[in-house]
Chain A
């Protein structure tokens, strides 16, 4: 059995080569433009810190989130630094002690380092979005809220004016006037994808209509008249004046519709603006106007707040090195580096006040002022018009969120595709939410 011997020894060699000598920090990142820029610039960091080797795993969001959860839950130790958003920090990761608190690491910094990093320069609402009980658990690579993006040229041609604080009724009016499918222009680009992490545009619309997920006793309110009104409005707007094929439109596809000049209005994440404003990917650079997110009776929860952060896995053995990289990747120096290498317009948005004081940035980023305004005024703790037991503007910050929101998103997408009625979708979603909340012990009847 020579063959067996040869292959076995080959396998041994393979096993031994996977063990490495250098301090390796492994990072798990979502593949989005700002993270990709960070990865591309990472050699600048390793050049200055030759003792640290950085390994990046870049994956689509849902795959990544699952890998990370699986890994930290069973203590796999695959990663040192992970992407962690507002929801993960607020929902369960901190509660489950999966993330290392950053305060001790900040305390261990020298005065000069602390001064150069200038934690107070990071926008307060973003810092809060990544803190639990006043303790910071992640640093923002970019931050976002939501607002209205629209085509100034199309508005002008039709004699329309977008107000600074539009209502959803007005948005509908504009969208339907500008909707011109025969010429490949859709009035508004809206999401309809069945991915529950992409529900934020609907959730903010729902909250701005005065509806809510739960009442103070954690009873789901999905079949309430307000909720139904908001849901129906969203679906009708999409069907009457939106794009075709919406059940597979998420952020990506919406952004492409807008950047390729196929949509007149888009209400979505403020980070989208950096790409619409970048001539390398957008055909409509000079034609985009910006306004606040639409409201309809309630400004609470009408725009979301999100920080795409990086945090350290609690079980990581290389916390010091990881922290060093994190503070570099979210520093003022790093933001300047991006400006120098990729153009000022690509500076990571929504993280530092100093970015919004930079005259060069303000010159090329017409969305800067609206972005900062939206981020500063978004309030995670008051997401709805009424008093509610939950926090979170783009999610509900409880671990059970995924369990019922995934079902809601599936039903939502089915209504968008026209394979399910509104009443059925709301009824099913309500039942699922009730079941989940009862099983988890929120509802005590």
Chain B
């Protein structure tokens, strides 16, 4: 028995050690934001230093963090909701009432993710110019929803198909309408799946850079563009950049950490039959 405890202890220690090593780069960028520019460049690296909030304060105020942050929140919130609004009924229908073309539709949805953004950005830009959608949150949301729908379709169809078939059967036998099945049965039973899907959509929308930088000017620019504004072409400012990077990733990290347990549960229940 003693050998067993020793080896479990070793495994626990190894797990935590590996996690710390792999997490170190993230920790390092947090710390660097509290340094002076000279300390940020110092070799040997400074592990102990008097922390300064100056870089964070600057990133927050002069960088107008809040206005980019609120853009990101609106962008992420609206695009996740709309992706669900379009994608959920389709996923539901594909899962429970698939027609002959169900697989074609699925593959078509997936294939839209293959198009590299650079290849479509010019036509979209021209179209947006005509419709006065350039540099509007509405325009960016429209684009993000197109990126989100295929994910909702694929993941949610998967989660829906794994609901116990008998429950749906029974409801149909009872003469329940599709709307009833959708709202009262399928959705409540798929909450872990919905959470997982929403989480992935949020991560992707939060971190999307390419369309943001191409279709937004200043008024609609989200945090990825804010972050890019700290890549300077004159003057290497690692501490400043680190502070800005930390501010831009911290909210999504916190969310990820809060959601992580649910995420494993979601993925697990989604894949267990």
Contacts and interface: CB of A to CB of B under 8 A. Distances in A.
Direct contact of A and B (CB under 8 A): yes
A252 B234 contact: yes
B78 interface: yes
Contacts of B88: 3
Interface in B182-231: 213-214, 217-221, 225, 228-231
B177 interface: no
B235 A252 contact: yes
Interface in B81-98: 81-82, 84-85, 88-89
Contacts of B78: 7, 10-11, 14
B41 interface: yes
Contacts of A57: 217-218, 221, 225, 229
Interface residues of B, number: 41
B218 A26 contact: yes
A67 B78 CA distance: 25
B156 to A, nearest CB: 14
A252 B232 contact: yes
Interface in A21-75: 26, 28, 30-33, 36, 39-40, 55-61, 63, 67, 70-71, 74-75
B141 interface: yes
A119 B148 CA distance: 53
Contact of A18 (B219, B231, B233): B219
A74 B125 contact: yes
A60 B137 contact: no
B74 interface: yes
A79 interface: yes
B67 to A, nearest CB: 10
A381 B70 CA distance: 49
B166 interface: no
Contacts of A14: 74, 78, 137-138, 141
Most buried by B among A39, A70, A255: A70
Contacts of A251: 233-234
A283 B136 CA distance: 44
Interface string B160-176: 00000000000000000
Interface string A162-199: 00000000000000000000001000000000000000
The contact size tier of chain A is 35 or more
B83 to A, nearest CB: 10
A322 to B, nearest CB: 15
A184 B213 CA distance: 39
B38 interface: yes
A362 interface: no
A26 B217 contact: yes
A271 interface: yes
Contact of A55 (B62, B218, B231): B218
A77 B129 contact: yes
A256 to B, nearest CB: 4
For the complex of A and B, list the 8 residue pairs with the smallest distance between their C-beta atoms, beginning with the closest: A32-B234, A15-B138, A57-B218, A256-B236, A60-B231, A18-B136, A58-B229, A78-B217
Interface of A: 1, 3-4, 6-8, 10-11, 14-15, 17-18, 20, 26, 28, 30-33, 36, 39-40, 55-61, 63, 67, 70-71, 74-79, 184, 250-253, 255-256, 260, 271-272, 275, 281, 283
Given A55-B218, A76-B134, 11 more contacts: A28-B217, A31-B231, A31-B232, A33-B234, A40-B62, A55-B219, A76-B125, A77-B129, A77-B134, A251-B233, A253-B236
